[in-house]
A and B are shown apart, each in its own frame.
Chain A
Amino acid sequence: MSPRVLVAMSGGVDSSVAAALLRNQGYEVIGVAMRLAPEPPPSSTPRRRGTCCSHDDFEDARRVAERLDFPFYVIDLRAEFHARVIGNFVSEYLSGRTPNPCVMCNREIKFDRLWQRAAALEADFVATGHYARIERDQTGRFHLLRAFNESKDQSYFLFTLGQREMARTLFPLGNLSKTEVRVLARSLGLANADKPESQEICFVPDGNYAAFVSRNALSDQILAGSVRDSRGRELGRHSGIHQFTVGQRRGLGIASGAPLYVRAIDSVTGDITVGSRDSLVSPGLIAGSVHLTHPDNVSAGEVAVTVKIRSRYPQLPATLQIIDQAQAQVRFPSGGPAVTPGQACVFYRDDEVLGGGIIEAALEL
């Protein structure tokens, strides 16, 4: 019997090609689309039954499954997504941090909840269309590696994977470029070959995070306060810390000669501290919720690594010291860019993801 693989399909070209490749490699493919984001509020009458999701993306995924002749199901994980991803997203913003919901979704949904479902369906593997690689060495140890195609690399979002997860996860696109994927999609006759990529967070399609957080928060959870310069002088007022992220320049509502950036957000007083671009430079950070892809990945003491502290930042040289299971300290020998609490800090050695954590605080100069 060929191994059975549950492929998470979004309807996009990447996961469609991933499913097609596995099917052609002889796996028994089962396609699933996950219903994650809640529907917009019902507009007309109250008490509507069967709130329906006429999600075109699911139809695209279904068409791929029909074309390649494997079973396909839509599964409803809205409750889990709401509790574990959206809830975290809202509370992080409300406490002045900038979360990365894709990291949370991978950890809590794709490589946890979906895995339970895979076990229920007797699947041997879960596969996704992520651009990343998993390699197994002679000792049987699994390594999480950056995608061959660096510009598409998504390994940053996957640092929470452990040995157990990697042993049963497949990333069929890890060695391909986006162009190759589109060519493959066309040669397979997939209708979504030229579908544009989704850029925004899936549950905030308009990209207006502040408005989303306000809608999902109680009014007494929103903390307004002052905008101050580094010497504490009040430059203006703001209506809630959830509207800001460290490093942000736009939307401060302050007229100033030189451009001002958010340097820090105080979740107790509600103060936003702003400063020049140079003032954002930080010597390092403290990360919490640290996870290593293998427990032996990082030895004791200070270790030279590279780190990525936002998904679109380049990898920076740094020294890493694991303080305990929960915490790590990262130092940038030559000064680092704006450190944004709530974002993931991912540790790399060459191509390999060693692990990562959630940024708790910037180190002071």
Chain B
Amino acid sequence: MRIYFDYNAGAPLRPAAREAMAEFTSAGTEGNPAAVHFSGQRARRLLEQARSDIAALIQAPPRSIVFTSGGTESNNLAIFGSVQKTTRRCIVTSAIEHSSILAPIEELERRGFNPIQLPADRDGKLVVRNLDVIDQNTALVSLGIANAEVGTIQDLRPIAQAARRAGAIFHIDAAQAAGRIPLVPAMSGCDLMTLSAHKLGGPAGIGALYVRPGCSLAPQLLGGPQEAGLRAGTPNLCGIVGFAAAARNAMASMDAEQQRTAMLAQRLLRRLEMAVDGLRLNGPREGRIANTLNLTFPEVLGESLLIALDLEGIEISMGSACAAGAVEPSHVLLAMGRSAAEARSSVRLSLGWNTTTEEVERAAGIIPLVWRRVAAAEPETSLPPSDAEWWQ
């Protein structure tokens, strides 16, 4: 049996979601929620029920939920949609965000906007010494509440207040946080919030953007009145039904599940720390989503460790995959002040709702052996000094 420790990239489908989708498809998938007939009305009922369920998770009104194709689309809609109806030219974000935040903002920079990146400390916590960077020229503040790679949870309230005072739109990327930490406290002061189904055990390809009623957002997909005019296109109803079921299930079992996951992750960490000399946890010990272990293994390339563990049946990840499928060192770790060499030696293990004690025990036995073998086989690992020097 393979051991799956890559929940932050995509969690296995929860049985509740699978059942809900099976029920939906076996009852017949025909019917466009926008159609007049009976099938259309059935589809519409299911769509609106799911919308209410998702809205209830964050105690928001149902009409504030816009279904999208996932976290990436939600982030793109939030960012491009926020800056279209304003003359403000500044966007505040941070260096540790997901690439679906960083890349749209880079694109806006090419179009003449002025991005400001808040720095992060060595634990991946945002450093906000001076909230004056958020001012009358700030169109948007876009930040993640729980970091995908190291798990750090941010206290966004002071920033939300500053954004409100300045009249800027405040966007929270909660793709990794939903189902893992309560999001209701973050709702005050939040204008937009990204949610993703497959990070919490729903299907991939479906997500949502919470849009506070009254928030001025421009649609990015045109061609229909769906989703209150904010996202044209026939909705992915099967995915939405699965998303809602997974979200209900994740919320109902959140406390117990998070305690269990935290206990398992702690056990894995302790065992690895005992067996691997010089192992380092990236991110804070406290104030993190407990399922995520970002670890620097001394004297190995993360890439080698990842492949060697895959061949042993343990699936982990590292940084982000490039188009060709090679792994790149994490930009988050670099932003946290790690050297390129440290980032290249770091991997991420993320656990979740279906992880078992037995899996943790087995992995804790195998990983140190594989680490020792890889370290012995590739002793004089030469690492590039810095990416900049490549292009001389």
Q: Identify the A interface with B (CB < 8 A).
A: 30, 33, 35, 38-42, 44-45, 48-55, 58-59, 62, 71, 73-76, 78-80, 82-83, 116-117, 119-122, 216
Contacts and interface: CB of A to CB of B under 8 A. Distances in A.
B387 A51 contact: yes
B311 A71 contact: yes
A117 B378 contact: yes
B326 A38 contact: no
B328 interface: yes
B15 interface: no
B304 A117 contact: yes
Nearest to A62: B325
A120 B326 contact: no
Contact of B383 (A30, A79, A122): A79
Q: Sorted from nearest, which 7 A-B pairs have the closest CB atoms? A: A119-B377, A120-B377, A79-B384, A54-B323, A74-B326, A58-B324, A49-B331
A50 B331 contact: yes
Q: Which of A54, A62, A75 has the most CB of B within 10 A?
A: A75
Contacts of B373: 120, 122
Given A73-B307, A117-B378, A122-B308, 20 more contacts: A33-B324, A35-B326, A38-B390, A38-B391, A41-B391, A49-B102, A50-B319, A50-B320, A50-B331, A51-B328, A58-B324, A71-B310, A74-B324, A74-B325, A117-B304, A120-B373, A121-B304, A121-B308, A122-B373, A216-B392
B99 interface: yes
18 contacts: A48-B106, A49-B99, A50-B320, A50-B328, A52-B323, A52-B324, A55-B324, A58-B325, A73-B325, A74-B325, A78-B390, A79-B382, A83-B382, A120-B304, A120-B373, A122-B308, A122-B311, A122-B373
Contacts of A30: 311
Nearest to B95: A49
A283 B304 CA distance: 49
B303 interface: yes
A44 B326 CA distance: 22
B96 to A, nearest CB: 11
A35 B383 contact: no
Contacts of B377: 116-117, 119-120
A45 B326 contact: no
A100 B323 CA distance: 30
Contacts of A80: 382
Interface string B216-238: 00000000000000000000000
Nearest to A35: B326
B303 A76 contact: yes
A91 to B, nearest CB: 14
- Secondary structure of the B side of the interface? helix
B303 A75 contact: yes
Interface of B: 99, 102, 106, 109-110, 303-304, 307-308, 310-311, 319-320, 322-328, 331, 373-374, 377-379, 382-384, 387, 390-392
Nearest to A72: B325
Contacts of A58: 324-325
Q: Which of B324, B377, B378, B392 has the most CB of A within 10 A?
A: B324
A82 B384 contact: yes
A75 B109 contact: no
Contacts of B392: 216
Contacts of B102: 49
A40 B391 CA distance: 7
B75 to A, nearest CB: 16
Contacts of A74: 324-326
Contacts of A82: 384, 390
B311 A121 contact: yes
Contacts of B307: 73, 75, 121
Contacts of A73: 307, 310, 325
B218 to A, nearest CB: 24
B34 to A, nearest CB: 37
B224 to A, nearest CB: 32
Nearest to B384: A79
B387 A75 contact: no
A33 B377 CA distance: 19
A38 B392 CA distance: 10
A120 B327 contact: no
B324 A35 contact: yes
Nearest to B99: A50
Contact of B110 (A45, A51, A71): A45
A119 B376 CA distance: 9
A140 B328 CA distance: 43
A249 B110 CA distance: 48
B110 A44 contact: yes
B384 A78 contact: yes
Given A117-B304, A216-B392, A59 B324 contact: yes
A85 to B, nearest CB: 12
A53 B323 CA distance: 6
A74 B307 CA distance: 10
Q: Which of A50, A83, A117 has the most CB of B within 10 A?
A: A50
A98 B378 CA distance: 31
A39 B379 CA distance: 26
A268 B328 CA distance: 43
